[in-house]
Structure 1
Amino acid sequence: MSLLVLIGRILFSALFIGAAIGHLSAAKDTARYAASRAVPSPLLAVYASGVAMLAAGASVLLGAWGDLGSLVLVVFLVPTAFLMHAFWKETDAETKQHEMIHFNKDLALAGAALVFFAVFAYTADLGLTLTEPAFTLR
């Protein structure tokens, strides 16, 4: 099982590490988009979310308090779904569909992050990890 958990961690965290790099390398453009969604202090929000995604993704990947990293991803993803992808506010059908896909993707990823939290907190067979989980719920 440890090999499957490790492969899952690699595949899952790659999305967040890649997104974080994109966030941070194009921060001004990303902040303009965030501003269009009425995010307060958009440039600061972009940097904070980019760092959070990078740290949490690396945490899950490396198994360095991966349970804590998983929770950070949940805390990032749920508000992001509602703030950035409010499909119910869109009037254009194509834009509405696009935002609904992203909204559902963010909620599904939040669910997967909760599963990773449980895996880290409840399972001893985690594959290669740098630390023990921050929470032990066994």
Structure 2
Amino acid sequence: MVFRKLARPLLASAFITRGIDALQHPGSRIPAAQKFSAAVAEPLGVPNDPELLVRVNGAVMAGAGTLLALGKFPRVAGAALALSLVPATFFEHRFWEEEDPEVKAAEKKQFFGNLGLLGGVVLASLDTAGNPSLVWRTKNAAHIASLESQLAAKNAVSAVSDKLPF
């Protein structure tokens, strides 16, 4: 419990600062957003406005990071952060395309740093804080409903058989 209250804000801080920076200074991220837009956004019908995409991604990171830090909807916030981090990582830090060894090393560091953050938010999105997951609750409710229907059927057969003359 104490670890969650400490770990979530620590993890979220990276996203909040990146998100705010993307909102205030989208310029350096626009070339990556153009690549994303050409490869993914256009086929999906998402607006072809790279600056808008950068700002929306920044808003998602800042907003979901804040929710994660506050412990509000942590699984939803973690999932949103994971979804926003994937395109940012694969379109912004393409170290395999770099020729300059220093730039390549820096991009590689950013890429794998983002993968580490991705692992953290995946864990955050799967963490149920000791409560049963939605999948478990759904399966359990179905199991209980099945047992209740079987009991109701047995009671109905018993009631009918009690009224039969033979």
Partner of 2:108: 100
Rounded to whole Å, the distance in 2 between the matches of 1:31 and 1:4 is: 34
Aligned partner of 1:83: which letter? F
Q: CA deviation at 1:3?
A: 1.2
**C-alpha distance in 1 between matches for 2:30 and 2:120:** 29
**Percentage of matched positions with identical amino acids:** 27
> What is the CA distance between 1:122 and its match in structure 2?
5.2
Residue 38 of structure 1 aligns to a residue whose secondary structure is helix
Contact 1:122 1:136 (8 Å CA) reproduced? no
Superposition pairs for residues 1-138 of structure 1, below 5 Å?
2-27=1-26, 29-34=27-32, 38-40=35-37, 41-119=49-127, 121=128, 123-124=130-131, 136-137=134-135
Higher relative contact order (CA 8 A, sep 6+): 1
Structure that is richer in helix per residue: 2
Aligned pairs, number: 125
TM-score normalised by the chain length of structure 2: 0.67
For residues 31 and 114 of structure 1, do their structure 2 counterparts lie closer, same or farther at Cα, with a shift above 3 Å needed?
A: closer
Q: In structure 2, how many angstroms separate the alpha carbons of the residues matched to 1:123 and 1:33?
A: 42
Q: Any unmatched runs of 5+ in structure 1?
A: 125-134
Runs of 4+ in 1 over 2 A off after TM superposition: 29-35, 37-41, 121-124, 135-138
Alignment check: 8 A CA contact 2:36 2:87 kept: no
Look up the equivalent residue of 1:22 and give its one-letter code: D
Displacement after TM superposition at 1:4 (Å): 1.0
Cα distance in 1, alignment partners of residues 11 and 75 from structure 2: 13
Contact 1:60 1:70 in 2 (8 A): yes
Unmatched tracts of structure 2, length 5 or more: 38-48, 137-166
> Which entry has the higher C-alpha Rg, 1 or 2?
2
Distance change (3 Å), C-alpha of 1:32 and 1:16: same
The code of the aligned residue for 1:60 comes to L
